[in-house]
Amino acid sequence: MDNPWVAEPPDDVLRIGQFARLSGLSIGALRHYDDVGLLVPASVDVSSSYRRYTRDQLATARLVATLRDLEVPLEEIRELLGADDARRRRELLARHRDRVRARVIRLHRVIHHLGHLIDPTAHTEESPVPDTVTTDELDAATRRALAVALFNRVWELLEKADRTAEDDHELVNAAHASRYHWTSIGTPRHLAIGDWQISRVYATLGRPEPAVHHARLCLDSARLAADEPWLLASAYEGLARAYAASGDRAAATEWKDKAVAQLELVTDPDDREVVEQDVASLPV
């Protein structure tokens, strides 16, 4: 279906939503990196302010995402991207590694002293890094990194043209795992997006019952998110897609109309375009 709002870009040009999903960077991060000149879009539409990226920029964007996950400061990422020789890039990465290593040593000392304060009579040694970590021991930053990585993996699989049955199993598992990690650290916004993605996966795989269920959960969370009109529009779109998968055309059309009406309240062009694209692809 053609997008009724925006002309389709060429195949090698990506909207910001597509680029975010394929690169592992959020739309907010892409805006910020554009503002600071770290990752500038290939073009910006003068009339709509829509950002456009090319597929050639994905490698750089994924590298930026990886470096941010490794806690490399933005200024050093900028220097890494601009470095012409491999030796300079290795020097920059080695410098960051040494900072991380020093922090690990300091944290080991903290653990050692905390152990002594907990039990002064116990004989404590420098605490080794554990071989395994249970999910209860994961810190918020680790959970967030896992949730984001799994979310992006789902989009990578959804974009895969020759997806196999094994890929479909991974799709379901990755979507649920991403949502699971947001459960203890996420806001209603994160929970809504997680359930929206699960619903999208099930609708794509032709499994309407769980698609509708998770779309409903998405709507419940979206209603709790303040000042996020695009999120409510996306929840309506998710319900339209889920009911379309179930064959209930009337319900699908009703929720699609709600999504279109809600889009009138979305003023941010990037947020609006992402939902517009999803609405335009609805099979109703």
Predicted pLDDT at 164: 96
- Can you tell me the distance from the alpha carbon of 88 to that of 243, in angstroms, rounded to the nearest whole number? 54
Predicted pLDDT at 2: 41
Q: Which of helix, strand or coil describes residue 112? A: helix
Predicted pLDDT at 7: 46
| Number of domains into which the chain is organized | 1
Predicted pLDDT at 243: 98
Predicted pLDDT at 245: 97
Query: Residue 104: inside a domain, yes or no?
Result: yes
Query: Residue 29: inside a domain, yes or no?
Result: no
Q: Which residues in 115-149 are b (16+ Cβ under 10 Å) and which e?
A: beeeeeeeeeeeeeeeeeeeeeebeeeebbbbbbb
Asked if 57 and 13 touch (Cβ cutoff 8 Å), the reply is no
Predicted pLDDT at 28: 87
Query: Residue 13: inside a domain, yes or no?
Result: no
Query: Residue 103: inside a domain, yes or no?
Result: yes
Query: Residue 89: inside a domain, yes or no?
Result: yes
Predicted pLDDT at 261: 97
Query: Residue 63: inside a domain, yes or no?
Result: no
Query: Residue 101: inside a domain, yes or no?
Result: yes
Q: Could you tell me where the DSSP H helices lie in the chain?
A: 16-23, 27-35, 58-69, 74-82, 86-118, 140-158, 165-183, 188-204, 208-222, 229-246, 249-263, 269-280
Predicted pLDDT at 3: 43
Query: Residue 106: inside a domain, yes or no?
Result: yes
Predicted pLDDT at 4: 42
| Per-residue pLDDT tens listing for the chain (284 residues) | 344 444 455 568 999 988 988 888 888 899 999 999 999 999 998 888 889 999 999 999 999 988 988 889 999 999 999 988 899 999 999 999 998 888 888 888 888 888 888 888 766 555 555 555 555 557 788 888 889 889 989 988 998 889 999 999 999 999 999 999 999 899 999 999 999 999 999 999 999 999 999 999 999 999 998 788 999 999 999 999 999 999 999 999 999 999 999 999 999 888 898 899 899 999 98
Tell me which residue range forms the domain holding 104.
Answer: 83-118
Predicted pLDDT at 58: 93
